[in-house]
Chain A
Amino acid sequence: MNKPNEGKAAIKHIESDYDKEIVLVSDFSAFDMKKAPLYDAVILDFTDKKGCLELLKTIRSSFIESIYLLPIFVLSIIEIKDDEIGQLSDGVINNIQTDSINSFIEKVKVKRKQLKPFTPSPEIDKNLIKLLRFSFTREKSLLPVKDRHSVIGYKYPLINLALDSKDAGAEMKAITKAVEEGFFSAKFIDRMHLCGKCYSGFLNYKEVDPETGDAHLETENIIHHFSCAYMGPESDFVREDKLICPKCTKTLRHIGVDYDKPSVMYHSIESDRYFQDPEMKVECLNCGHINDIEGLVQYDLFELSLTDEGIDEAIQPTGSQSAADTVYSGYITYATFGTFLRFEIERVKSSQKNSSIGLLRPGITSEIENDLGHQYQKLIEEISAFVVNNTTASHILSRSVNSFFILMPETPLDKCNMAMEKMKKSLKTLLENNVKDHDIEVHASVREITPNSEYQSVLNDLRAGILKD
């Protein structure tokens, strides 16, 4: 414990009914990062806003699991509008209720226990694993927040911590990759238009003279005086507060009756050019590049939620161990499975003999999972064993939490479908016998692998099929 200050301690232990080390930090300079793993939860006093955010960022930017996964709450009696605090912390509280803090600590602990240790290697993207693990332990999706210091104008706070904030491309690449690999599902939030050269979102849209690129333009209405057929810009007509025709000197009185305004003319002040169709240019305020509208990069912002594969990857990163295929006996990892599937498609192309693929998923909700407690793991092991026993050695299996992928080489679709239906029925009986309190549905879907198949879309189709089953 640090030295208590005179009235208010810099770091104060919070008493509770639970055997937990929960501390309230008011003086952020007194916080010792090395001691962070000793705490069960940290509460940051928001009185010093800047310091609070700084410390929050420092903790979350660590790559040490016991530090960056630490439950952190922000204490503030006033409402906090900063979305970044919301993303990086585990909640803003206005009083200290140890009950709810404790249950959060417990929840994170259960999740953390599932995480398998791994030794860092060049194949493992530790930043990605951190995102997955953070998201997994909190059951929290990653959201972009508005940020005028970020080049794009938005940032994903947690992702951004590890990256050079000036390099917008790095963040975009990291997210695209994680979504493409199937670890996150992406829900559209907003669409950005960025500089084609540096990805900056600080853009100045302007109409320019298409010939000279000049932005110093004025627009004028064209006026048509009916009775004398004079037609010219409004300025030709303006005499003090009246409109007087320069050709016939009559006063224009009534639009639609003695004159009208059929169009608008642009005038480029510098070059004294007249034209009607200015060009839209977008100047980047970051790098100075002048973009065409078509040259802007369209970038979508998403809410990123973990998928089953993402959870799998969080628990056991691909390539983190030599015996990757023994995560569950008889199963290979999802990533390896993907590779097998790609090989299979290539093989089908040359052999012209189609294969099939099936997906089996017992509908175990997180509610059921909680109810089952430690029994859940046992049940899953049992289902795993069931699937292995009901398939042959030529079938390739992969498991992602509750999803069981079965690749059946050189198997026609109808045969695969029959096998899957049979398994579905038997599994249903097995679940009925093992879980008395819940009625657990079993879903299955199958797809054919043809020479035209594309591996990612086969897997997506399969998952979509499950939802319809």
Chain B
Amino acid sequence: MFIEYWETFVLYWHDKDTLEIIRTFWFFFILELPRFLLFDFIIVVSVIFNRKSIDRKRQIARKLLWAEMPLISIIVPGKNEGPHLYKLVNSLKEQTYFNYELIVVDDGSDDDTPLIGRDLEKNGMIHQFIRNDVRGGKASAANLALRYTKGKFIVHLDADTSFDRDSIENILLPFYYGENIGAVGGNIKVRNYEDTFCASLQAIEYINSISMGRIVASELGIYRIISGAFGAFRTDVIKRLGGWDIGPGLDGDITVKFRKIGYKIHFEYKAIGLTNAPTTFKALSKQRLRWSKSLIRFRLKKHSDIYLPGRNFSILNFVSFLENVTYDVILNILWWLYIIDIIMHNSQMLAVVIPLKIAMYMAMDFIQFSLFLALSERARKESKLYLYIPAMVFYNSYYMRFVRTLAYFKEIFFDSSYKDPWNPAKTSVKALQNKL
């Protein structure tokens, strides 16, 4: 039985020439391989080769930073984050960069957060604890913190993020070596990757797709998402922009506003923040539905002017958006056609074609992950994740695609993100009225 199957498998390869193979797996070879592997390879190799000059630039930037040693404002908006605050405060105390003020905004918590926050404030561990009795949503909470900041840079954190000792210092460096940089995204990794299978897969995803994708995007100048869990902003610019707007997530919107007025966004992969990923597929699906909806809302609706030639037109912004929309939205839809195409044209050979397809993705995931480990500061620890790589193809190709498709459908046709309880209803109503 197995031998029989192996024979058909070998025969299949023999019969087809390269073009035919590419024809069958066109989606993989034409669209995904170049974008996800080729670019990665080039960028990683260039980063490795340029390490010396990059390090030198960083050295100079570090000197400039310490010579100036500006006050920075760390802001932490959130609801019911009290239990994380003590750990956060201690994680920040360990930072090499110490000239910061810490402002925590309690966005209408209904647990012990006000007590914990006040206590930490009294003991001087939080410089300003602002409590709102009514929830206003994360954007407004961040804006309130922003209103009272005095620092030169804003570092925006989630309360449950923890940091390597040099993370804050590292996230500030790009402001001193890059030109015209308005905001810097930190590199978020999964802290609880050993908790569940689901969390382990996300740990690989963060490394392979998210971090890697951002390094590449940043190098190409089309980086556009700063994680809400860890990002740094120039205070003068973000205040000029009026801070954050309402939305299904803060991450993808503020950066577009920076880009629109001509500032660069940089991804700093050496500024590491660890966060807890959802441990169940149910929670993960909920989170990703929200993220994907925000993509539609920000890329196709709110900031649609990016695609139009006009006063603020920028080729990089256009490319950035186009790339984002192409790879995340259009290809997602195209993929279903691809599957239909494979089934239609290879109906007899499915038993061979499908495993082959899966094997190709596995190989790609494997190479991508290895490339990343070459850059990672905790490669030894992360190498444990190799075990889970075979599962990634199912996670990425089937589970994530399904979630995304559902989200796009809901958002495009039903404006579903405006009903998300992530924002209080009073603000969502206004956001929908004003098409924000």
Question: Bound state CA distance, A43 and B130, in angstroms?
Answer: 68
| B195, CB-defined interface residue at 8 Å | no
Known: A229-B246, A247-B242. A263 touches B130 (CB 8 A): yes
A277: which B residues are within 8 A, CB to CB? Answer: 118, 121-122, 129
Question: Bound state CA distance, A231 and B242, in angstroms?
Answer: 10
| B370, CB-defined interface residue at 8 Å | no
Q: Would B144 and A232 count as touching, CB distance under 8 A?
A: yes
Q: Would B243 and A262 count as touching, CB distance under 8 A?
A: no
Which residue of chain B lies nearest to A250 when distances are taken between CB atoms in the complex? B434
**Distance to closest chain A CB from B423 (angstroms):** 9
Q: Would A276 and B430 count as touching, CB distance under 8 A?
A: no
A256: which B residues are within 8 A, CB to CB? Answer: 426
Q: Which of A226, A230, A247, A276 has the largest number of chain B CB atoms within 10 A?
A: A226
| B221, CB-defined interface residue at 8 Å | no
- A to B contact number (C-beta, < 8 Å): 81
Partner of A248, one of B148, B242, B431: B242
Question: Bound state CA distance, A246 and B434, in angstroms?
Answer: 17
B136: which A residues are within 8 A, CB to CB? Answer: 224, 226, 229, 231, 260, 262
Question: Bound state CA distance, A263 and B114, in angstroms?
Answer: 13
Question: Bound state CA distance, A224 and B430, in angstroms?
Answer: 12
Q: Would B426 and A260 count as touching, CB distance under 8 A?
A: yes
- Proximity bits, B119-142, A CB within 8 Å = 1, else 0: 001100000111111111101110
Q: Would B242 and A276 count as touching, CB distance under 8 A?
A: no
| A236, CB-defined interface residue at 8 Å | yes
Q: Would B427 and A265 count as touching, CB distance under 8 A?
A: no
Partner of A227, one of B132, B147, B148, B431: B431
Q: Would B140 and A230 count as touching, CB distance under 8 A?
A: yes
In the complex, chain A residues 225-268 whose Cβ is within 8 Å of any chain B Cβ: 226-233, 236, 246-248, 256-258, 260, 262-263, 265
Q: Would A229 and B134 count as touching, CB distance under 8 A?
A: no
Which residue of chain A lies nearest to B239 when distances are taken between CB atoms in the complex? A247
A276: which B residues are within 8 A, CB to CB? Answer: 129-131
Q: Would B143 and A262 count as touching, CB distance under 8 A?
A: no
Known: A227-B433, A229-B246, A236-B147. A262 touches B108 (CB 8 A): yes
In the complex, chain B residues 412-436 whose Cβ is within 8 Å of any chain A Cβ: 426-427, 429-431, 433-434, 436
Q: Would B134 and A260 count as touching, CB distance under 8 A?
A: yes
Question: Bound state CA distance, A149 and B314, in angstroms?
Answer: 80
**Distance to closest chain A CB from B424 (angstroms):** 9
Question: Bound state CA distance, A300 and B143, in angstroms?
Answer: 50
B143: which A residues are within 8 A, CB to CB? Answer: 229-232
Which residue of chain A lies nearest to B118 when distances are taken between CB atoms in the complex? A277
Partner of B147, one of A226, A231, A275: A231
| B230, CB-defined interface residue at 8 Å | no
- Proximity bits, A128-142, B CB within 8 Å = 1, else 0: 000000000000000
In the complex, chain A residues 177-233 whose Cβ is within 8 Å of any chain B Cβ: 210, 222, 224, 226-233
B128: which A residues are within 8 A, CB to CB? Answer: 274-275
Q: Would B244 and A229 count as touching, CB distance under 8 A?
A: yes
Q: Would A227 and B121 count as touching, CB distance under 8 A?
A: no
Which residue of chain B lies nearest to A263 when distances are taken between CB atoms in the complex? B132
Q: Which of B132, B144, B431 has the largest number of chain A CB atoms within 10 A?
A: B144
B436: which A residues are within 8 A, CB to CB? Answer: 227-228
**Distance to closest chain A CB from B119 (angstroms):** 10
- Proximity bits, B215-240, A CB within 8 Å = 1, else 0: 00000000000000000000000000
Q: Would A265 and B433 count as touching, CB distance under 8 A?
A: no
Known: A226-B426, A262-B136. A210 touches B122 (CB 8 A): yes
Q: Would A232 and B430 count as touching, CB distance under 8 A?
A: no
- Proximity bits, A25-50, B CB within 8 Å = 1, else 0: 00000000000000000000000000
- Proximity bits, B370-391, A CB within 8 Å = 1, else 0: 0000000000000000000000
Partner of B140, one of A224, A246, A258, A265: A224
Which residue of chain B lies nearest to A260 when distances are taken between CB atoms in the complex? B134
B434: which A residues are within 8 A, CB to CB? Answer: 227
Q: Which of A222, A224, A277 has the largest number of chain B CB atoms within 10 A?
A: A224
A224: which B residues are within 8 A, CB to CB? Answer: 132, 136, 140, 144
A231: which B residues are within 8 A, CB to CB? Answer: 136, 140-141, 143-144, 147
In the complex, chain B residues 40-73 whose Cβ is within 8 Å of any chain A Cβ: none
In the complex, chain B residues 203-222 whose Cβ is within 8 Å of any chain A Cβ: none
Q: Would A228 and B242 count as touching, CB distance under 8 A?
A: yes
Q: Would B245 and A262 count as touching, CB distance under 8 A?
A: no
- Proximity bits, A272-300, B CB within 8 Å = 1, else 0: 00111100000000000000000000000
B147: which A residues are within 8 A, CB to CB? Answer: 231-233, 236
B141: which A residues are within 8 A, CB to CB? Answer: 231
**Distance to closest chain A CB from B297 (angstroms):** 14
B118: which A residues are within 8 A, CB to CB? Answer: 277
Q: Would A227 and B243 count as touching, CB distance under 8 A?
A: no
Known: A227-B434, A229-B139. A262 touches B134 (CB 8 A): yes
Give 6 new A-B contacts, CB below 8 A, not counting A228-B436, A276-B129.
Answer: A227-B246, A228-B242, A229-B136, A231-B147, A257-B426, A262-B136
Binding site for B on A (CB under 8 A): 210, 222, 224, 226-233, 236, 246-248, 256-258, 260, 262-263, 265, 274-277
Query: Can you identify 6 A-B contacts, CB atoms within 8 angstroms?
Result: A210-B122, A224-B136, A229-B143, A260-B426, A276-B129, A277-B121
Binding site for A on B (CB under 8 A): 108, 118, 121-122, 128-137, 139-141, 143-144, 147-148, 242-246, 426-427, 429-431, 433-434, 436
The 7 closest A-B pairs by CB, nearest first: A247-B242, A262-B132, A227-B430, A229-B139, A231-B144, A232-B147, A226-B430
